[in-house]
Structure 1
Amino acid sequence: MIPDTLQEELIEPAVRGTLNVMRSCVKAGTVKRVILTSSASAVYRTPPQGEGHVLDEDSWSDVEFLRANKPPMWVLLEKEASRFAAEHGISLVTVCPVVTVDAAPAPNALTSVPNCLSLLSGDEAEFTVLRGIERGSGTVALVHVDDVCRAELFLAEKESAAGRYICCSLNTTIVQLARFLADNYPQYNVKTNLLSGDLLEKPRVCLSSAKLVREGMLLCFRSSLFA
């Protein structure tokens, strides 16, 4: 079970901070739309799904399943924000990006960045996290940071936009990713020795950005994410 300290130190402040921003938007009276950056963790964290399962915006991570494995922060944050928006007549659009890659804007690499780099760094602790992402979701779903930024601007300006939007360019696996890197960038000495155990040969599930694409958003790095 998730410790009470995480509930108090991580989940509650995140939810409270989001609602405080939304209250300020209501008070200002001039905000036309709020774009909330959530996470695909609010979509795919469920008990194992069947082969070929497609996850879309109607998919929600199972809160009780999360409570037994990791903090259900993103699900609770999204649902509280949605409830508040409905009660106060705010146009709320939520973007759920998957693992975000390419150059990190921060001076220190955090969250998913060192996880993805573990195939190059050989950091076994970070690789364990990457393995956990694949095991927990059935895929290693990736998106370029530029596409996430463009999606948020696009949805802020798109009049018809509403609800949630998954932002995902590629569903792959650790094995496929390692092979691609080893074949195309041999100079980086990809740590293929880490490829052992119950790693997937191909994605078991797919996180779909079909709704975002239907709105007219073009994911520029869809076919050449690592080019």
Structure 2
Amino acid sequence: MSIAQFKSIEEAAIAGVKSIAETCIKSRTVRRLIYTGTVFAASPLKDDGCGYKDYIDETCWTPFQNLHLPLTPFHKDYAYSKTLAERELLTSYGKDENGSGGFEVVSLVLGLVGGETPLSYLPGSVAVITSQLQDNEALYQSLKFLEDICGKCPIVHIDDVCEAHIFCAELPSINGRFLVANSYASSAEIANYYSQNYPEFNLKEKYLEGPNRAIKLASTKLIDNGFVYKYNLKKILDDSIRCARRTGDLSMS
């Protein structure tokens, strides 16, 4: 399947998840499909695009018809395609609320993934988390875009992401949409942590101020099923810096 055969990225994304799901059905051996999604599809913006809900959880979907945000073509295509693809998978192939129809589809809606990794290069998500320390405007705009979409920045450690996938694969039964993030911070809160704990980077003052919206992280579905997060925001940020230093992408001013 080549993206060139489709009219848009959105069409290609939907075709991709449909192809995977249909293959699972044809195999007659797959009873659970675990899909890795993104919080770019889980905005707490109100349906009319004016203001935010008081919370972010699994019931939130990004309202693109009334999305009044200054989106770059890349950000728009990414968020829109991921939203449509996830909706297609859950509505067309997953079991309903009563457990009928389809097969078990688990959608893990990931926050911005940080932490240290065994990779020899800096992962894109870690680059976004450390963008203020790098004074990288393009990466910082991705952080701000996430903040504008989600009210604040939902963040999770890569180790917790891996454990969440294993957890959902090993449970006797699980189905539906789960937000995978245990930290929810504004870009200014992230910058202030860096400024207070890593003064050697001489963080620019322009990063220290910004909106601090009164929106709560209200997702407990994964925890209610027995999952335990091991890494808090401090550890995520510290490990992200350690990763960026190791790969040579972050050096002191």
TM-score by length of 2: 0.76
SS in structure 1 of the partner of residue 91 of structure 2: helix
Instruction: Provide structure 2 residue ranges, at least 5 long, that are not aligned to the other structure.
Output: 96-100, 239-253
Matched, 1:215 2:211: no
Q: Give, as a single letter, the amino acid of the residue that structure 2 aligns with 1:83.
A: T
Cα-to-partner distance string for 1:3-47 (whole Å, 9 max, x where unaligned): xx9x83422222111111111111111112000111111111632
**CA gap 1:151/1:184 in 2 versus in 1, 3 angstroms:** same
Shift of 1:99: 1.0
SS in structure 2 of the partner of residue 44 of structure 1: coil
Matched, 1:184 2:203: no
Matched, 1:27 2:40: no
Give aligned-pair identity as a percent. 26
SS in structure 1 of the partner of residue 85 of structure 2: helix
2:89 maps to which of 68, 81, 96: 81
In 2, the alpha carbon distance for the partners of 1:151 and 1:208 equals: 18
Cα-to-partner distance string for 1:157-213 (whole Å, 9 max, x where unaligned): 2234221000111111111111111211222333334445xx12x343233331111
In 1, the alpha carbon distance for the partners of 2:18 and 2:207 equals: 42
Asked if structure 2 preserves the Cα contact closer than 8 Å seen for 1:37 and 1:95, the reply is yes
In 2, the alpha carbon distance for the partners of 1:149 and 1:74 equals: 20
TM-score by length of 1: 0.84
Comparing 217-226 and 81-90, the one that deviates more: 81-90
Q: Partner of 1:58 in structure 2?
A: 59
Q: Partner of 2:251 in structure 1?
A: none
Asked if structure 2 preserves the Cα contact closer than 8 Å seen for 1:137 and 1:205, the reply is no
Q: Partner of 1:141 in structure 2?
A: 154
Cα-to-partner distance string for 1:63-122 (whole Å, 9 max, x where unaligned): 313598423112211111123314862110100011111135655545433222211111
Residue correspondence of structure 1 range 69-148 to structure 2 within 5 A: 69=71, 70-71=76-77, 72-86=80-94, 89-103=102-116, 107-109=120-122, 111-148=124-161
In 2, the alpha carbon distance for the partners of 1:100 and 1:48 equals: 28
**CA gap 1:160/1:90 in 2 versus in 1, 3 angstroms:** closer
In 2, the alpha carbon distance for the partners of 1:168 and 1:193 equals: 27
In 2, the alpha carbon distance for the partners of 1:122 and 1:161 equals: 42
Root-mean-square deviation over aligned CA pairs: 2.6
In 1, the alpha carbon distance for the partners of 2:11 and 2:181 equals: 28
Residue correspondence of structure 1 range 185-200 to structure 2 within 5 A: 185-195=198-208, 199-200=210-211
Asked if structure 2 preserves the Cα contact closer than 8 Å seen for 1:141 and 1:169, the reply is yes
Q: Partner of 2:11 in structure 1?
A: 12
